[in-house]
Amino acid sequence: MISYNFFSMALMLGTLLPVTGFVIILLLSFLEREVNILEIENKRVSLEHELQQSQFMQLNQQIQPHFLFNTLNAITSLGRLGRLEDSVKAVEDLSLFLRYNYMEKEPLVTFEKELQHTENYLSIQKTRFGEKLQTVTRVDSKASDTLLPPYTLQTLVENAFKHGLDKKTGGKYLEISLHRQGNWASLIVIDNGPELRMEADRPSGVGLKNLRKRLEITFDMRTELTIQRKEEMTEARIVWPYTPEVKL
Amino acid sequence: MKLLVVDDEPLELEQLTHMIKQKWPIWEIHCAEETSQALKLSREQKFVLAFIDIHLPGISGLELIETLKRENPNLSFVITTAYQNFAYAQKSIKLGVVDYIVKPIIASELDEAIKKFIERSGYSLSKTIVIEQVLEVIGRDFSQKISLESLAETVHVSPTYLSKKFSEEMELSIPSYIMKYRIEKAKSLLLKHPDYSMALIADVVGFHSQNYFNSIFKKYEGLTPSKYKELKSGRYD
């Protein structure tokens, strides 16, 4: 005969076990849902990050409208004055400049490509300002094969015009130089524009803010962007990890 | 009639001068790349109209207009700019400028601005219908021989009256005007058609001999047509 105690125990177990099982199953599915939500959340964050990155890229692609209209004006001038060769050259420069802007870009480009793009821009500016504009480019051969985010040089040069050279009467001077110190590459753009009006005038500009952010996103190491006044000139300098192109 | 053109781009100065000269060959145009130069010129010459680029290094175009206006209250202004900026437009209306031209310069818009200036200021090439008609005929027939008699006949007045009236209104004689007009046309052809021979250009603008064309051109421009072509058609940089 089974004892009364044993019977009541078996009865309890018989009712409790299915109930706890049921509860556990419920909890499990709930946990699973929670994990799923976390995963989706994670994906959303990384997508947002990517979107932000591509927005940063695009922001910098915008061509300044007054540059475009001034260029078109210079081209019509050349045409009206009968300088056929010069006007064709100016249209070519503008076309190459636009082509680079509308090209799909990798997060990193070669310095050579970036410099070519800026040279197209400078060639157009020389058509406008003639001999008043002098430019010098110096490239350290130990650094010339480095990669950098697209529009890095162009942003610095456009900035030098917008805040410096456009406000300069008489001769305009611009110097571009690329250097390397060990594992670090640095790019320096110097212009002889007038004194900064306010410290906040330049480094807080959208273009530079955007460039700083892009450098941070692209490299997980230390990067620098500084602007300072040196011997009657304005010097913009960026430093980033020297990243040579891997040739396969 | 003296005009002042201020822009920091040398190419733009050339373009505006060229465009205005095509339509109004006898206007005297002075150019300045910098504000200080513009102020200096304005003190030396009696300008009636000034084209000012709003975006100048140093002081802004609007400030330059204020200064020029203080010194010469009769001066009229046309602003040129690559920015279509509402605030600038408002400010320029306050300063009483004649018009506001957005670059790239569109020929019809420039003509419009000059017409507005003429209407507003009463300054004009011609003050009467008769002279206006004469100018039109010259603009059309400059390739051929134009005589005072035929011009007078076209506008139904006597040759002596026309000659006197023209000199009064235009401050130069009909033959000098025609000559200036032909030289301006020749200058434009020399640049636009470098392949044309001098003989052809001389013929197209209404000179019966190339020698005569050469000597007149030199008299007005200070250099021979071929030297002019060489100098102007060179590469810009």
**Is residue B162 over pLDDT 50?**
yes
Listed residue (A192, A182, A167, A175) closest to A237, CA to CA? A175
DSSP labels for A97-162?
HHHHHHS---S-EEHHHHHHHHHHHHHHHHHHHGGGEEEEEEE-TTTTTBEE-TTHHHHHHHHHHH
What ipTM does the predicted assembly reach? 0.70
Q: What is the pLDDT along chain A (248 residues), one digit of tens a residue?
A: 678 888 888 888 888 888 898 999 989 988 888 888 888 888 888 888 777 766 666 555 677 888 999 999 999 999 999 999 999 999 999 999 999 888 877 788 999 999 999 999 999 999 999 999 999 999 999 999 999 998 899 999 999 998 899 888 889 999 999 999 999 999 999 999 887 654 444 555 677 888 888 888 888 888 999 999 888 899 999 999 999 987 66
The position carrying tokens 């300054």 is B123
- CA–CA separation, B234 vs B228, rounded Å? 10
**Residues facing residue A241 across a β-bridge:** A184
In contact, B228 and B187? CB cutoff 8 Å:
yes
Which residues in chain A have Cβ-Cβ distances shorter than 8 Å to B10? Answer: 129-130, 132
- Residue of B14, B103, B187 to mutate, testing the A interface (most A Cβ within 10 Å of its Cβ): B103
- CA–CA separation, B144 vs B134, rounded Å? 15
Q: Is B37 on the interface with A (CB under 8 A)?
A: no
Q: Is B18 on the interface with A (CB under 8 A)?
A: yes
pLDDT at A62: 73
Distance from CA of A81 to the nearest CA of B (A): 6
| CB-defined contacts A:B, below 8 A | 84
- Chain centre distance of CA B161: 27
Distance from CA of A153 to the nearest CA of B (A): 24
CB contact under 8 A, A127 and B11: yes
**Residues facing residue A180 across a β-bridge:** A185
CB contact under 8 A, A86 and B236: yes
Q: How many CB atoms lie within 10 A of CB A237?
A: 17
Is the whole-model pTM more than 0.90?
no
CB contact under 8 A, B194 and A82: yes
CB contact under 8 A, B237 and A82: no
The position carrying tokens 């058509």 is A127
Q: Is A70 on the interface with B (CB under 8 A)?
A: yes
Q: Is B55 on the interface with A (CB under 8 A)?
A: yes
In contact, A127 and A78? CB cutoff 8 Å:
yes
Smallest Cβ distance to B191: which of A81, A85, A170? A81
Instruction: Answer whether the bond into residue A65 is a cis peptide, omega within 30°.
Output: no
Distance from CA of B120 to the nearest CA of A (A): 28
Question: A205 is written with which tokens?
Answer: 């500009």
Q: Is A135 on the interface with B (CB under 8 A)?
A: no
Rounded percentage of chain B residues whose pLDDT exceeds 90: 48
CB contact under 8 A, B193 and A167: no
Q: Is B111 on the interface with A (CB under 8 A)?
A: no
B52-83 pLDDT tens trace: 998 888 788 888 999 999 998 889 999 998 87
